[in-house]
């Protein structure tokens, strides 16, 4: 039985592959987030003493985006 769809060109592999930039699969800003959460835990989840850690985390997230 013949195929239902006919390809517009002959099926063959190309000599080149597309030059695509792959997205990084590893998580970013994990260290900054861990430091921020540890600071929160030490200070009973009060943001005031952890302002520097929070700023570093948000800066990292902004760079990653």
Helix, strand, coil percentages in the chain from 3-state DSSP, rounded to 5 = 45, 0, 55
Whether 61 shows a pLDDT value over 80: the answer reads yes
Task: Give the residue extent of every domain in the chain.
Answer: 30-64
Q: What is the pLDDT of residues 25-57, one digit of tens each?
A: 567 899 999 999 999 999 999 999 999 999 999
CA dist., res. 64 & res. 57, Å (int): 11
Look up residue 56 and give its two tokens.
């570093």
């Amino acid at each position: 039985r013949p195929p239902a769809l006919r390809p517009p060109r002959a099926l063959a592999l190309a000599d080149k592959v597309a030059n695509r930039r792959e997205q990084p699969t590893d998580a970013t800003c994990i260290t900054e987030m861990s430091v921020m959460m540890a600071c929160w835990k030490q200070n009973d989840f009060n943001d005031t003493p952890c302002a520097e850690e929070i700023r570093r985390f948000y800066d990292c997230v902004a760079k990653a985006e």
